[in-house]
Amino acid sequence: ITNPNVNQNTFDALTSHGHNVGVPSTCTSRAVGLINAGRIAEGCKALAWAPDGKTPVWAFVTDAQGRKQFVQGLHNRRLAESRLCAEGL
């Protein structure tokens, strides 16, 4: 995170995300790119949603046949991280 205006809640949300999906994936994510560019609210939203604002992200697993499967519990976690990230903005 290179944006000096990131508050503790945003930092904590990104730490949780990194712990769950991997630090390299979080650091190279669209969310962190937006946050570093000063678009913190948009970056927080990007922790849970694709650019269209309707498609969940980081909420899928790959099954044995190689198909992506949506997991509501993972999406719930991303939504919680997104809310924490934006808290206090």
Closest to 79 (Cα-Cα) out of 51, 54, 56, 50 = 56
Q: What global pTM score does this model have?
A: 0.94
- Mean pLDDT, the chain, integer: 97
How far, in Å, CA of 3 to CA of 15, rounded?
15
| 28-63: pLDDT as tens digits | 999 999 999 999 999 999 999 999 999 999 999 999
Tokens 């503790």 sit on residue: 8
Q: Are 35 and 1 in contact (CB under 8 A)?
A: yes
Average pLDDT of span 71-77 = 98
